[in-house]
Structure 1
Amino acid sequence: MTQLSKAIGRPLLALGLALQLGAMQLAHAKEALPPPQQFAQLGAFKLENQTVIDDCALGYRTLGTLNAERSNAIVFLTWHNGKSSDILGLLGPKGLFDPAPYYVVVIDALGNGVSCSPSNSKTQHGPAFPAFSIRDMVASQHRLLTETLKLNHVRAVMGFSMGGMQTFQWMVSHPEFMDLAFPLSGTPRMSSYDQLFWRTEELLMVSDPDYAQGHYKKNPPLAAMQLVFSMNFNTPAYRVANTGPKPEEFEKFWQETIAYDPDNADANDWRWQARAMLTQDIGVPVTQADGQTRRSLEAAAAKVKARSHVVVARQDHLVNPKPALDFAPLIKAGSTVLESDCGHLAVQCEIDRLRPIIERLLDQAAGSLNTPR
């Protein structure tokens, strides 16, 4: 069993913990110090709901060197409660793509515990932290790239899971900013199934007395929420065949699942990012004939300029693939459907299938670059 499979066998409060891919991928590379954690100081960051995050700092790491034409930058966005350090293991000759020819900027999303978050805010700690959206994440990232790194255009924007949701939003919010958009297991709009799953998770959290409505002194174990997450992360077939446990080992697995784990993501960070996902809809507001304003994916598609390729997993129980597949033809995007029984983990299970697709599209994007910015 791989280290990743062992990690999946434990209860998982955050997708970032579920996808500890670094050890698996970096084992194939020469040992090297990871790129340092850096921060862009955004100050008082105003959100789309008109509230303000005090002293907002956005975390990021960079790999490689920006070329003289400033045309080889790639932006990679974090998953739900994932951190930039987690992403590093996805990149490399055995990863999603070889970063060697590129200048890769990996950005910690708002609320992940590294960037400004409920857990690390001094003036808006815990439940006092403002609610933010995926659009706010993208707005903060745009400021980091343009103000701190002085980048006005990049080769590609990509991300997995919630990172894929951010990628879809980038395509609409800043359509001229990238040549290629590559959302992996993301969605442009939450389906009814996604709403059911993530709202159930949130209900399990807020119903747990240890959560104390976010005013806990110690990060709560949230056993029921972790169990439901663990049930849905993979398919039943994958869990039985790969992550177990064997029937005779189940009691040990159960006790470990419901036990307190100091490595779990902060519960308020988890909830704030989950709430951002629950409100995700890249549709552009359009007034209908009945006078009601609704978000239109067709109007959003009309704004998209980047070459795009959509990747989904057929058996994904965390992010339903249908909205992304429905959106792809609206923007004339290519698509890849992963068919394994790995569930949300299919991107990792089929990484050898994805790598040549990603690298080919990155090469093609290089041939269609706009005038260097």
Structure 2
Amino acid sequence: MIETTDYAIFDAGDVQLTSGQVFRSMKLAYKTYGRLNAARDNVIVYPTSFSAQHVDTEWLIGPDGVLDPERYFIVIPNLFGNGLSSSPSNSPDVLSDGRYPLVSYHDAIAVQHRLLVEHLQVKQIALVYGWSMGGMQAYHWAALHPDMVERVAVVCGSARCAPFNRVFLEGVKAALQADPAFQNGRFVTQPTAGMRAMGRVYAGWALSHAFYREEAWRGLGFDALEDFLTRSWDGAFARRAGDDLLAQIATWQNGDVSACARFDGDLSKALAAITARVLLMPGATDSYFQPSDNASEMPLLVNARSAELSPIPSIYGHRAGNPIHIPADRAFLRDKIQKLLAM
């Protein structure tokens, strides 16, 4: 264990990935909030989303927040590829050919499980809560460890990456890779132009038609649309290494809870393995994690103790699930999670 002032590192050693490749000295960065109770079962696991590090998502944690650290022991595991956990930017020699491998959600949850069981000695998980890529991880947790997970909240996420979602990501990836710094499958320098292009592409997908029609960006403190795009999106991903973003896009595009030997690609079998209480909260106007994906999953949750589909009634698209500056959406999430935890 390597303790730092802000987060800790769980060294998982050499890990065999679902691809069969071995990732040498795989490291999981994480941070905890609150205290573990005597029964070691007041645990909330809160995985990170695309490009996010724990500091980007911890705004949701607080006595008056969605997740209460005074009652629960909250663990944020940083998803591989985010620059803190093992990523292309900090693990250049994980394979003999120097190429960064595909790290699946199954790989991520396997290491997270080891962190909780081996190091933190957690017995039960009261809730796995995740937004976007975090929501996909929450689904994996529930299917792979049904004996351990009591509740799961999937916010703007799905059990697998839909074809339409994959195509959206192809556009994001193409914008990034169009930068001249992308050579022979990797970036030789930070792709400044590619990052800006990626941000502009993302801006049209992350928020809804109604958001722009109603000029809701004015409520976020912007005087003009170009000002919103420039200050919110041109540099939105510049804080991350280009290769790290590509690694997480690969994880996202290949996300499928059934893509393992246990379920053999059978989504019905994978979702039938879930016994937790399930709360699915898509954004009502989300363009790429569309509510219809969750609606199609509901009939497959045949063994869940309960299953609720409750779209977030918001014009903020995908961002409704991460409403840092959207009080109404934040209140909706808090109310739903409080009710779920009371069950």
Amino acid across the alignment from 2:99: A
Structure 1 match to 2:210: 237
Amino acid across the alignment from 1:307: R
TM (normalized to structure 1)? 0.79
Q: What's the offset of the Cα at 1:247? A: 11
Q: Distance in 1 between matches of 2:83 and 2:333?
A: 29
Q: What's the offset of the Cα at 1:118? A: 0.4
Pick 1 or 2: higher relative contact order, CA cutoff 8 A, min separation 6: 1
Question: What do residues 136-164 of structure 1 show as CA deviations (whole Å, max 9, x unaligned)?
Answer: 11111111111111223211111111000
Change (3 A) 1:253 1:72: closer
**1:174 equivalent among 145, 148, 152:** 145
Structure 2 match to 1:189: 160
Question: What do residues 312-369 of structure 1 show as CA deviations (whole Å, max 9, x unaligned)?
Answer: 11210232222222212321511211121110111223111221220121122xxxxx
Change (3 A) 1:255 1:189: closer
Amino acid across the alignment from 2:102: A
**1:85 equivalent among 34, 48, 55:** 55
Change (3 A) 1:229 1:246: same
Change (3 A) 1:254 1:100: closer
Equivalent residue of 2:29, what SS?
strand
Q: Distance in 1 between matches of 2:226 and 2:336?
A: 42
Amino acid across the alignment from 1:80: F
Change (3 A) 1:142 1:296: same
Structure holding more helix per residue:
1
- Residues 1-373 of structure 1: pairs in structure 2 closer than 5 A: 36-124=6-94, 128-212=99-183, 213-222=185-194, 223-240=196-213, 241-243=215-217, 249=224, 263-283=238-258, 295-331=265-301, 332-347=306-321, 348=323, 349=326, 350-364=329-343
Change (3 A) 1:65 1:93: closer
Identity of aligned residues (%): 27
Equivalent residue of 1:176, what SS?
coil
Structure 1 residues without counterparts, runs of 5 or longer: 1-33, 287-292, 365-373
Q: CA RMSD of the aligned region, Å?
A: 2.8
C-alpha contact (below 8 Å) 1:96/1:358 kept by paired residues: yes
Structure 2 residues without counterparts, runs of 5 or longer: none
Question: What do residues 272-311 of structure 1 show as CA deviations (whole Å, max 9, x unaligned)?
Answer: 111111111123679xxxxxx9722221122111111111
Equivalent residue of 2:68, what SS?
coil
TM (normalized to structure 2)? 0.86
Q: Distance in 2 between matches of 1:265 and 1:44?
A: 25
C-alpha contact (below 8 Å) 2:42/2:124 kept by paired residues: no
Amino acid across the alignment from 1:275: A
Q: Distance in 2 between matches of 1:278 and 1:197?
A: 10
C-alpha contact (below 8 Å) 2:14/2:23 kept by paired residues: yes
Give the aligned length: 325
Change (3 A) 1:325 1:258: closer
